[in-house]
Amino acid sequence: MESLSHIEGLNRRFGIAGMAEIVAGRGGMPVVRVASPAAQAEVSLYGAQVLSWRPAGAEEVIFVSERSQWERGVPIRGGIPVCFPWFGDKAGDPKAPKHGFVRICDWRLDSLRADDDGSVTLVCLTSSDDSTRAQWPHDFLLAYRIRIAQSLRLELTMVNRGTGPLRFEEALHTYFRVGRVQNACVHGLDGVAYLDKTEGFREKRQSGDLLIADETDNVYLDTEGPVEILDSSLLRRLRTEKLHSSNTVVWNPWQDGAANLADFGHEEWEHMLCVEAGNVLRRAVTLAPGEEHTLRATISVLPQ
């Protein structure tokens, strides 16, 4: 548990009166809480994970499981986890943390700023150390810029600080809150080839909108355009626009998959749908020494 004196120190240094404060969240972990005219949000410094975002006049957009364990070393189930430097299971090491190690580490709050338009922007950092090199032998810096406003803009910048080239996977694993997943569909992937992880990464091609009627775990290839969740229960569209992202991942565990997850309520699967911007599998990113790469996702809520 983070000491209250440390959290109070962060708040004295970075807090913005009437707009943003650093508080003790669940499990005692430091959370940046934003309440501005444009939006309300919470971002945990554990994993630099967005836990909540409500643009003015809208309902909650982000899903977090009521069974999340809120312990260090354990991922938070829901929100927007940062997956890096691998996606899913690490090749050749099934005991390695799923989706990489940065979502289960403490990030440093580097800056917190409010602008005249009501937006609040925070920047979190994490970098290589002895513990990360033991799992992935490269030197790096990750800078994560989160702009909270009527839209939510996420920019993850990776810098290769090493002396040789490196290759990594990344994703912004967004858990969207939906009224009922059976009444939602994903628009914007028609005609796109994808790998179906439920069938051993069998390659298929999407025809029309994606309807969620069973366990879904698809990695769409060469998708750079916007993607929308059409939610007829909540009468809204959740739009994700991307930059420097070659993949869109869509996931819902359905009833049986959720039952196998201890940190996932058995009925919660009906109220979430992951649509993720990333670069994974054959679209992993290679960087030369000193190079950097920025993945951007911009999320907005539109009427249906």
User: Residues 21, 155, 170, 276: which is the catalytic one?
Assistant: 276
Q: Distance from CA of residue 303 to its chain's centroid?
A: 23
Residue 182 has pLDDT above 50, yes or no: yes
pLDDT in tens, 32-83: 999 999 999 999 999 999 999 999 999 999 999 999 999 999 999 999 999 9
- The sign one gets for the Cα dihedral 216, 217, 221, 225 is positive
Task: Specify the pLDDT at position 94.
Answer: 86
What is the torsion angle, in degrees rounded to the nearest 10, for the CA atoms of residue 155, residue 58, residue 17 and residue 79?
A: -50
The set of residues, in sequence order, having a beta carbon less than 8 Å from that of 67 and lying 6+ positions away, is 77, 262, 263, 264, 265, 268
Q: How far apart (Å, rounded) are the C-alpha atoms in residues 279 and 227?
A: 16
| Predicted confidence band of residue 5 (pLDDT cuts 50, 70, 90) | confident
Count of other CB atoms within 10 angstroms of residue 3: 11
CB 176 within 8 A of CB 62: yes
Label residue 83 exposed, middle or buried (CB < 10 Å: 0-12, 13-18, 19+): buried
Specify the residue for token string 């969240």: 25
Number of domains in the chain: 1
The set of residues, in sequence order, having a beta carbon less than 8 Å from that of 287 and lying 6+ positions away, is 158, 160, 165, 166, 167, 168, 293
Task: Specify the pLDDT at position 100.
Answer: 97
pLDDT in tens, 126-155: 999 999 999 999 999 999 999 999 999 999
CATH of the domain at 282: 2.70.98.10
Task: Specify the pLDDT at position 304.
Answer: 83
Q: How far apart (Å, rounded) are the C-alpha atoms in residues 85 and 136?
A: 8
Tell me how long the chain is. 304
Taking residues 5-30, report their average pLDDT.
94
Q: How far apart (Å, rounded) are the C-alpha atoms in residues 288 and 158?
A: 12
Neighbouring C-alpha atoms within 13 Å toward the C-beta of 260:
6
Domain housing 219:
4-303
Q: pTM for the full model?
A: 0.96
Paired strand residues for 195: 203, 219
What is the torsion angle, in degrees rounded to the nearest 10, for the CA atoms of residue 159, residue 160, residue 161 and residue 166?
A: 160
- The sign one gets for the Cα dihedral 218, 154, 269, 231 is negative
Residue 220 has pLDDT above 90, yes or no: yes
pLDDT-above-70 percentage for the chain: 99
Question: Computed over its alpha carbons, how large is the radius of gyration of the chain?
Answer: 19
Taking residues 18-40, report their average pLDDT.
95
Task: Specify the pLDDT at position 215.
Answer: 97
Task: Specify the pLDDT at position 2.
Answer: 55
CB 176 within 8 A of CB 50: no
Taking residues 243-270, report their average pLDDT.
95
* Catalytic status, residue 266: no
Taking residues 148-175, report their average pLDDT.
98
User: Residues 173, 228, 241, 270: which is the catalytic one?
Assistant: 173
As given in the structure block, the two tokens for residue 126 are 């994490």
Residue 1 has pLDDT above 50, yes or no: no
Count of other CB atoms within 10 angstroms of residue 54: 18
- Work out the mean pLDDT of the chain and round it to a whole number: 96
* Catalytic status, residue 276: yes
Task: Specify the pLDDT at position 265.
Answer: 87
